[in-house]
Chain A
């Protein structure tokens, strides 16, 4: 049986100093939204963690999720997470193709039976398997065969998590999500179009660090990142509460950075971490660039009316409910903060 090196051994062999490792652990704690006091525990756990085998399946997708994850041309700190997994199959990134690629997938499954992770991007066509096949194998058959010996499945992006654009009306391929089909394995949804790359790595970091999957919400999303709405953490929110809105993209309100609710912002009903984790190495997020949130991490967001139609006139939610949102806003924000503290307390207690 081959000896699998620990993450500590891997980093040591790469000449990473203890200070570098502590820095890595601090970034991991921040990534997992855990208190900095957890860093020593994370260090102990990560040092002993062994590389899990990961099989990445791509079905009806645009490769945007992989692009999101690999968008950085230089090695990143969070990229070390990927140094510490064994990515045994990813048909966009791997050098092998055809029978050799499929043989690699089968070998990884056999060698790591019961312990490997399956990451999926893209939805699965159930109308006619011919819509999407890999090596002559239907997406459904490949998914079900691969998840059989998996420890858990992570659905990356809104297509894998909820059906996404292939599943949008009239859903010509009969697209279904991973959780529609996989019922006997834990499934974590990391939706977004694309998802925030740090959220993808955080789920893997959590698995590596604590040997368990994160707490999930009703839609199977990690609560650490999907526990609060974009609106809860939006820096423009005070304008919403003051009733100051941009009416067009070039009016005075837009220039002054007022709330984009009337321009169709779906922030009040969209659970995601864009407002705090942000994009492009923490530079900004769509609202900061003057564009409303599209709600891309919510189920069926393609079929919820126009992107620029205000929520109060669209299909996302009822106008009456939203009218009360400003009043309830402060209370919701406080509840979110309490939930965050509880989560932190839980990990501290377990530590």
Chain B
């Protein structure tokens, strides 16, 4: 959907949430630099006029890094044009947005490999060569 979409109510007015949010992000960056304190802003909790969210996304721009996550639907984790400011959008398997956040952090937690997944992956890896490479088992005794 775009600002010119004919299905969208033609509202020239903006609610005025964009500038205060940009200010909040500046303060959050201060905290990140001074105290290493990350901040997450849940955009679902704010009333946006039609088109205003797109204004915010445009104001933040796109930076060097974009990651896509496929887990219970697609997620996009994108660093904005301002390092340390991340646009995180979670969708479900039907493609519907279920969460939209601005994270002010060095790296969003969800990008990290999680211990539970690392453990499960390790087990899968060992299984993958246990059957096909018996000589390895002989050597290690496992």
Q: Which of A30, A78, A239, A284 has the most chain B CB atoms closer than 10 A to its own CB? A: A30
Among residues of A, the one whose C-beta sits closest to the C-beta of B73 is: A77
What range describes how many residues of A lie at the interface?
A: 35 or more
- Asked if A315 is at the interface of the complex by the 8 Å CB criterion, the answer is no
Instruction: State whether B99 touches A235 (Cβ < 8 A).
Output: no
- Asked if A27 is at the interface of the complex by the 8 Å CB criterion, the answer is yes
B137 surroundings in chain A (CB, below 8 A): none
Instruction: Tell me, in angstroms, the Cα distance from A289 to B7 when the chains sit together.
Output: 9
Instruction: State whether B10 touches A26 (Cβ < 8 A).
Output: no
Instruction: Tell me, in angstroms, the Cα distance from A107 to B56 when the chains sit together.
Output: 53
* A276 and B45 contact, Cβ closer than 8 Å, known pairs A22-B114, A288-B50: yes
- How many residues belonging to B are interface residues under a CB distance threshold of 8 Å? 38
Can you list 25 A-B contacts (CB < 8 A)? A16-B72, A18-B115, A19-B71, A20-B72, A22-B114, A27-B90, A27-B98, A29-B42, A30-B98, A33-B45, A36-B40, A36-B101, A75-B93, A77-B92, A79-B92, A235-B13, A235-B15, A235-B48, A239-B13, A257-B9, A257-B11, A257-B12, A276-B46, A276-B47, A282-B96
Instruction: Tell me, in angstroms, the Cα distance from A30 to B101 when the chains sit together.
Output: 10
Instruction: State whether A17 touches B44 (Cβ < 8 A).
Output: no
Using an 8 Å CB-CB cutoff, how does the interface string of B92-113 with A read, 1 for contact, 0 for none?
1110111101000000011000
Instruction: State whether A76 touches B50 (Cβ < 8 A).
Output: no
Instruction: Tell me, in angstroms, the Cα distance from A16 to B93 when the chains sit together.
Output: 13
Among residues of B, the one whose C-beta sits closest to the C-beta of A340 is: B45
Instruction: State whether B97 touches A22 (Cβ < 8 A).
Output: no
Q: How far is the CB of A146 from chain B (nearest CB, A)?
A: 32
B9 surroundings in chain A (CB, below 8 A): 257, 284, 288-290
Using an 8 Å CB-CB cutoff, how does the interface string of A185-207 with B read, 1 for contact, 0 for none?
00000000000000000000000
- Asked if B75 is at the interface of the complex by the 8 Å CB criterion, the answer is yes
- Asked if B18 is at the interface of the complex by the 8 Å CB criterion, the answer is no
Instruction: State whether A76 touches B11 (Cβ < 8 A).
Output: no
Instruction: Tell me, in angstroms, the Cα distance from A275 to B49 when the chains sit together.
Output: 10
B115 surroundings in chain A (CB, below 8 A): 18
- Asked if B125 is at the interface of the complex by the 8 Å CB criterion, the answer is no
Partner of A30, one of B48, B99, B110: B99
